[in-house]
Amino acid sequence: MNHTIQFIIAVLCFTVISCKSGSVITHQDHEKLPYVSSVELEAITRGRREEIKVNSEKFKFTSHTNKETNLEKVSKTINKEQWKVILEKISTINLDEINQLKSPTNQRMYDGDLATHISITVDKKTYQSASFDKRNPPKELEELVKYLYQLKDE
């Protein structure tokens, strides 16, 4: 009987430790992250347009030229860990000031880069960034933008 109780306690401890260290989002972790319903990124120049739309279930990337000659579409399901990474990156951004973030470069002004903006919808309110160069976003948005494009290739 004594060994049975010890075994049960050991299994319970192992289960609790595994859940805490794994990719499971705990209730405490979830409370710290914002409730984001969607993220959209749009990058445009005269001859090209790219769109990324992502929510807790799906990722969609579309890229095309004005003449539709180079159409690229990626649509896939994202997992909870990927969504958690997005939420963590968003949690580092002051959404109330996202529209005031300054782009470090202005290549988009002469078609040297795609003019890009990102929209984040939290609790039915959409926060939209000011325009920035796709290849050189404001440092506050850099990790999120890179990760969104990384998801396209995973």
Domain boundaries, the chain: 1-30, 33-153
Per the model's pLDDT, the better-predicted residue between 54 and 64 turns out to be: 54
* Cα–Cα distance measured from residue 138 to residue 126, given in angstroms and rounded to the nearest whole number: 19
Which numeric CATH code is attached to 33-153? 3.30.1560.10
Containing H/E element for 79? Answer: none
Number of Cβ within 10 Å of residue 127's Cβ equals 18
Per the model's pLDDT, the better-predicted residue between 149 and 29 turns out to be: 149
The secondary structure of the chain in percent helix, strand, coil, rounded to multiples of 5, reads: 40, 30, 30
Name the average pLDDT for the chain. Answer: 83
Say which range, 31-45, 75-89, 110-124, 138-152, has the weakest mean pLDDT.
31-45
Q: Which amino acid is at 132?
A: F
Q: Which amino acid is at 131?
A: S
Instruction: Tell me, yes or no, if the pTM score tops 0.85.
Output: no
Q: What is the pLDDT of residues 65-84, one digit of tens each?
A: 877 767 889 999 999 999 99
Per the model's pLDDT, the better-predicted residue between 32 and 141 turns out to be: 141
As beta bridge partners, residue 44 has 49, 115
Say which range, 9-13, 38-42, 133-137, has the weakest mean pLDDT.
9-13
